[in-house]
Each structure stands twice: as C-alpha cells, then as structure tokens.
Structure 1
Amino acid sequence: MKLFVGLDVSSFDIKVCLLNGEGEKLRSFTVPNDLPGATELRDAILECVDDQEIHTLKIGLESTSVYSFHPSMFLHNDEALRALGTEVLVMNPKQISNFKKSYSDMDKTDEIDAFVIADYLRFGRLPMSVVKESQYVALQQLTRSRYQLIHQVTKEKQHFLQHLSFKCNTFKEEVDSSVFGNAMMELFFEKFSLEELAHMPLEDLAAFLQEKGKNRFGDPESIAKSIQKAVRSSYRLDKVVEDSIDIILGTTIEVIRTLQKQVKEIDKAIERIMAGLTQTLITIPGIGPVFTAGIIAEIGQIERFDDETKIAKYAGLYWRKHQSGRFTADDTSLSRNGNQYLRYYLVEAANSVRRHVPEYQAYYAKKYKEVPKHQHKRALVLTARKLVRLVDALLRNHQVYTPKRSVNE
C-alpha cells in the first residue's frame, strides 16, 4: 500500500487529506495544531494502514515557520511511524502554489490545499526537503539568532556613528583608531564635553586610553593628540543639544555591549552543539567556526540532498536559463529563491576562503575579469557555488580538507 498524507497547517489547526497510490481520497479531517491534535493525527494514520503492507508512507506539509515546526518534528520522531519507514517532508509553499495551478477548477480552501499537498507527494517529481534531526534544528535556531544579533549590532553601530558626527564631526577623519574599541567607547560613555576633551592634559587623556584599552595601544599619546586635534577642529553644539547627543551615544553603547554579550553566549551554545557533530568543514582554511556552524545548521544531515546541485539550488546559488528557439540569453539574473541564511553563510565563507586558498583565489580572479560590470558580486557568488562542491564532498565522504588533488569533489 502507498499512502500520501497532505497537511495544511495554520496557527490553530491542521487540515488533513489521505490519498492512496491511485489518488483516491481515503479520508479528510481536521485536528487542532497542538500535542493532542498531532497525537490524534498519528493514530488516524496508523489506523488507516493497520494490517496493510506499507510500501510508501509520506507525510507532507508546507514550510510555515513555527506553525509547521512542531507537527513536522512530532511526526518525524514518532517511533510507530518511523517503524513503517515514514518520510516527513517540508516543502516550499511556492512549489505547492505552482503545482496547484494545474487544478484550474478548484477554489482556495484549506481542505483543498491539503489535498493538493497529498497529490503533490503522490507525483513526487519536484524537490522536497526532509525535516532535520534535532541537533541540527537546535543549531539552526542558534545560528539564525546570531545572524539577527549581528545585524542588530551593525545597525546600532551605524546609529552610533551618525550621532558621533553630530558631536564631533571630524573625529572619524582625524583619529586613526577603531571607534568601537573599548577605550573609545569608554571615552564617549563618560560623556566628556568637547571643551573638556580639548583642555584635558595630554598625558591624562593618554593614560585614560591606555587604562580603558587594557594597555593595547602602542602609542596612546599619538592617539590622544589626534583626538584633541579632532575635537578642536569640530563644530560646537549648544549645551542642550550636546547633552542630548551624549545620552544617545551612551545608550547606544550600552545596547551594542548588550548585543555583543548575547552573541558571546550564543557562541558558547553553538560550540557545545558543534562538539557533538561529526563534520570536517572546519578544516577548510579561512572558513572558521562561525561560517562552519551556519552552513552545517542550514544543510543538516547531508543525506537530505541527492548531490551538490540540490544544495546549490536550496541555497539559491543558481541562475535561471532564458531560452527561446535558437536564442539563449547570456545575461541572466541569480535566483531570488532559496534559503537566505545558507546563501549568506556560503557567500561569506567563500569570500574568506578565497583569501586563504590559492585555487579559490585564482578562480575568483578569473571570474572577476570575465565581465565588465557587477564583477565582485558575480565572481563571489560563482566562488560560493564552487565552494558548495567542496562542502558536499567533505560532508558526504567524511573527509578533511587537503589540497585540490586529494579531495574528490
């Protein structure tokens, strides 16, 4: 017997449709989207296949963020369903939407959507993604949260620089030191006025920087001189305006430090999970633990993908073909579909790897010279596409990175 179960999931319920191998509807019903409802769904599936010889049992649902997460993991991890060789598949809603267009006489209802998902499973010709094991799901939650925190830090730093220009408009041009180093942050956190900084004894300002910078400045006096030069050449603000800017700078510094502290906590949790996973990507020069964790989290178990082309498509690292008759377009755009997080980590990793591995450096340079525009972006994405082959080979074959001829890509 072949059984295909389509689930249309919302925040409060799950519409269910069961089809056999011939496309006949065996049953349709609705259960709540909670633990008792999922248990009822599981029991209904087991009842349907009771005393039957099962050849295929597939359960499919669209990827709808948190709504689909719990039912998919419950059904995937259920021992009774696993004993029947059940596959739980999470699918791209756009694929289901396109597939549904072939049913031109159907209305838009949740019950019909569940039928379409089950029928899509029955045809099974389009790519689908099996749910991940728990450790990859946990890692993904952490790496995605880290991704969001880093973007928040970047946004807050831009906010800080904008208001720093109000307080001291020549600071960034005159001072050859990171604004976001601990010493500089402490300098603005103390809310010194420009007049106070301008008239502070040079040795006192240098000592302040050296203390707050934990003696990491090679020449604190030179930095102190450049700060006072910037302060003396900057416009002056009314005191009421300068006080408001000082408050904004101080609160922004606190936000940045809080976010950075949270990133460190997440990094520790990521490190603990990565220690329990067998992977060899960290052996690639330049890839580092952050990019490794991000790539592993989004790919999950490598067996989810037939080959490296499926990984590239999942990440959106492919170009659509534009062909009509004998005409084939040379300039086509990168797909906007795919997993944005995996694409981000692969592209950023490729940018780092090309600086450490001569083969990737040469490949990037070759692709850079091939076109007159969008050179860096195009070359970097193509380098990321090349990196996918290496990632697939190392994970699938459990290899460590060695020079080109030693790795079977």
Structure 2
Amino acid sequence: MKLFVGIDVSSQDMKACIMGPDGETLGSPIVQNNLTGASYLRDQIMHFAKKLMPQDIQIGLESTSVYSWHPAMFFHEDQGLQGFHTKVYTINPKLIKKFKEAYVDLDKNDHIDAWIIADRLRFGRLPLTSVMQEQYIALQRLTRMRYHLVHNLTREKQYFLQHLFYKCSSFTTEVESSVFGNAILELLLEQYSLDEIGSMNVDELAHFLQEKARNRFADAECIARSIQKAARSSYRLSKCVEDSIDILLATSIESIRSITKQIKELDKAISKVLDGIPNTLQTIPGIGPVYCAGILAELGSIERFKDQASVAKYAGLVWSKHQSGKFQAEETKMIRSGNRYLRFYLVEAANSVKRFDDEFHAYYQKKYQEVPKHKHKRALVLTARKLVRLVDALLRNDQIYTPRRKVNN
C-alpha cells in the first residue's frame, strides 16, 4: 500500500492533497510556503502514515522555478518521512497539464491541481525527476548562472557590433583582429572621431595597440594600417549622432568586461565544487571543467537513470516518430521537452570533442554529408547524441576514456 501526496506550490502557499491507495482524499491542508508551513504539512502526512502504515510515501510537486525547491529538499531530507521510504518527485508541469486534460468533468477549485498531482503519482510510470543530492544542486546553481551570463554576453556583443557599424561601417570587413580584444576596445574608449583615427601617425597608433595588447600582436603596424583604412572608407556621422554612439559603445564595453569578469569568477567557483565530485568525464579530449560541470550538474547521480536512452530523453536529444502502417517518415523533429541546460552543455561539449577526437570528428563529417540542408546543426546534435552514450558509460562504470585503436590494413 502506498500513500500519495500532491502539492501545488506557489511563492506564498502550498495546497496539498493527501491521497490513499484507492484514490480517496484523506486530507487537503493549505499551508504557507515556508519552514513552519512545511513542518505542519509534514506532521499531517506523518499522521496518516502512522494510521495506514503504507509501504512507502510518494510526494509530488510541479517543478515551478525556485518555489518548489525548498519544499522538495525539506521533505526529501526529513528523517521521519524517510522512515516510511518516502520518495519526492519534482514533475514537469507539461506532464501534469496533459494528465489533467484527460479529466473532462472536474470542478474548478483551489485543490484541484494538488489532487491531479496526487492522482498522477497514483497512476505510476513516473519520469525520473527525483531530488538530486546537495552537491549537484550547488553545482547546478553555478552552471546555470554561467549559462545565463554567457547568453547575456552574446547578446551584449551583438549590440556592440551594431553600434560599431554605426561608428565605423567598414571596421569588421577591413580589420582582421578581433574587435573584442583589449587593444581595439581601448581604442574605441578613447572616442576618437574617424577623421582623427585616419590622420594619426601609423607608428603612434601601432605603439598604442601593441601596448594595450601587451605585445601580443605579431604585426601591430599592419593592424594599425587596416584600422585607418576602415576609418577612411566608412560613412560619416553628424557630431550629435557620433557622440551618442560613442557613449553606447563605451557602455557596451563596460558591460562586456563586467560579464566576462563574472564568468571567470564563476569558473573558479565551479572548479572548486567540481573537485568534490569524483568523475571521469574530463578524460574525454575536449571536455574541460566547465562542460564537465554543466553535464554533471544537470544529471546528478547517473544511477537516477535507467540507461543512456533515458539520459538522452531527459536532455531532449531524441526525435519523435511518425509511422502509420508501412509508412515511416524519414524526416522527424526533435522533441521540444527535455532539460535545455543539459542539452546546451552536451551540444557545446560535442562541438569541442569533435575537434580533438578522431572518432567523433569522423562521425560528425559522416552526418554532415548525409543531408543537403541544416548540415552543421543536424550533424552536431547527432554527435551530441553519440556523446550521451559515452558519458553514460564512463559515469556508470567509473571508467576513463580510451580512444578506439586504429587498425591498419
């Protein structure tokens, strides 16, 4: 016999439904979403557990941003509940929504969502979304913040390039050096006009660039000449517009440098937490601490998953099937569900691994040549799917990566 508890969580309260094995509602408490409220709800669950003596208790919450995390961890770690073999599940809201659509005669009330979650638990065949260990949660917070900052950095660089085109329309076509290098950014921060840049002494400009680049330019004079050429061939702006663009460029540069610094600080924190999680993923060529941490943070313990196919489905690296009778569609779309953070880190890791490992490079090239459209995107995602099998094997068997031996004919 089992006891099922569905909890509808919001930022302010938790509406619960305590359900027996036959679907009968035993209790419907409403408590605040804080430690006091969770403790009271725990006591209510324990009351019915001691009365019915179930073999285990299943508690389900929708995965609603940060609001469900504290309750899930509280019930997962509670010693009293663990005495009844309690399992806590954070369930994808899409799954609950689809399950709710099967009921056509439900009355609308405050407890209906909690009742639906409890009934979904009773129905069984639950996806693997149980609570992860704290060390993985700590790592996950860091890697997801890094994901957020990386996307902000990409967006900020796009804004910067747009404003740079206003300032110097020929810059990216004439100058081969990175516009995000320290020397170029320092030059733009000086807010010279195009005429001033074009009339500068080449040696002085080259010296300025070399100094700001810390002598990293192989030929600073060549870069200086290309910058002057870009300045001379670009469209001119009125003084009013140019002053505004200079302010926008300076603001973007400050944002880019700030975000870059924050990412470096996060990388240090990620490496520190990662040191406490034994794994063999970094033995794969091309996977460093960041990709390793991103994958581990979303997977947690590999034992949570039945096999590599379950990992792929959790990441959303599977394709829907379209088959009817003898017809089998050749082109199908990837499912839209799945953990987008895990998918991101697996795809990025695959892109890196294919540059260092011959087997993955050959596989990518093979998939790249199979279709006329979307070559890179398709090949990269399929390479990520191949990487899933390797990741699963290394973590599950605690093995280091050993490339396959080449056989000479």
Q: Normalized against structure 2, the TM-score is what? A: 0.95
Report the Cα offset of residue 371 of structure 1: 2.3
What is the rounded CA distance, in whole Å, between the counterparts of 2:28 and 2:241 in structure 1? 66
Q: Name the counterpart of 1:210.
A: 210
CA contact (8 A) 2:29 2:41 kept: no
What is the rounded CA distance, in whole Å, between the counterparts of 1:383 and 1:81 in structure 2? 43
Q: Secondary structure at the match of 2:215?
A: coil
Please say which of residues 320-329 and 203-212 is displaced more in the overlay: 320-329
Alignment of 1:9-408 (within 5 A): 9-50=9-50, 53-404=53-404
Report the Cα offset of residue 53 of structure 1: 4.2
CA contact (8 A) 2:128 2:305 kept: no
Amino acid at match of 1:50: K
**Residue 399 to residue 3, structure 1, CA distance change in 2 (3 Å):** same
Extract unaligned runs of 5+ from structure 2: none
* Deviation digits for residues 54-108 of structure 1 (CA, Å, limit 9, x no counterpart): 4121111111111111111111122222233211001111111222223221134
CA contact (8 A) 1:363 1:383 kept: yes
Q: Secondary structure at the match of 1:89?
A: strand
Please say which of residues 234-243 and 271-280 is displaced more in the overlay: 234-243
* Deviation digits for residues 184-242 of structure 1 (CA, Å, limit 9, x no counterpart): 00000111122221222111111111111011111111111111121122222222221
Amino acid at match of 1:245: I
Q: Secondary structure at the match of 2:249?
A: helix
What is the rounded CA distance, in whole Å, between the counterparts of 2:242 and 2:74 in structure 1? 57
Report the Cα offset of residue 121 of structure 1: 1.1
Report the Cα offset of residue 328 of structure 1: 2.0
What is the rounded CA distance, in whole Å, between the counterparts of 2:302 and 2:81 in structure 1? 22
Q: Secondary structure at the match of 2:334?
A: coil
Amino acid at match of 1:388: V
* Deviation digits for residues 129-172 of structure 1 (CA, Å, limit 9, x no counterpart): 10111111111111111111111111111111111111111111
**Residue 336 to residue 217, structure 1, CA distance change in 2 (3 Å):** same
**Residue 143 to residue 368, structure 1, CA distance change in 2 (3 Å):** same
What is the rounded CA distance, in whole Å, between the counterparts of 2:399 and 2:251 in structure 1? 48
Please say which of residues 295-304 and 179-188 is displaced more in the overlay: 295-304
Amino acid at match of 1:212: K
Amino acid at match of 1:342: L
**Residue 282 to residue 110, structure 1, CA distance change in 2 (3 Å):** farther
* Deviation digits for residues 366-390 of structure 1 (CA, Å, limit 9, x no counterpart): 2222223222222211111111111
What is the rounded CA distance, in whole Å, between the counterparts of 2:245 and 2:262 in structure 1? 26
* Deviation digits for residues 324-380 of structure 1 (CA, Å, limit 9, x no counterpart): 233221211111111111111111111111121111112222222222322222221
User: How many equivalent pairs are there?
Assistant: 405
Amino acid at match of 2:333: S
Please say which of residues 197-206 and 58-67 is displaced more in the overlay: 197-206
Q: Secondary structure at the match of 2:394?
A: helix
What is the rounded CA distance, in whole Å, between the counterparts of 1:231 and 1:365 in structure 2? 41
What is the rounded CA distance, in whole Å, between the counterparts of 1:100 and 1:128 in structure 2? 20
Q: Normalized against structure 1, the TM-score is what? A: 0.95
Report the Cα offset of residue 52 of structure 1: 5.4
Report the Cα offset of residue 181 of structure 1: 0.3
CA contact (8 A) 1:160 1:252 kept: yes
CA contact (8 A) 1:286 1:352 kept: yes
What is the rounded CA distance, in whole Å, between the counterparts of 1:41 and 1:359 in structure 2? 54
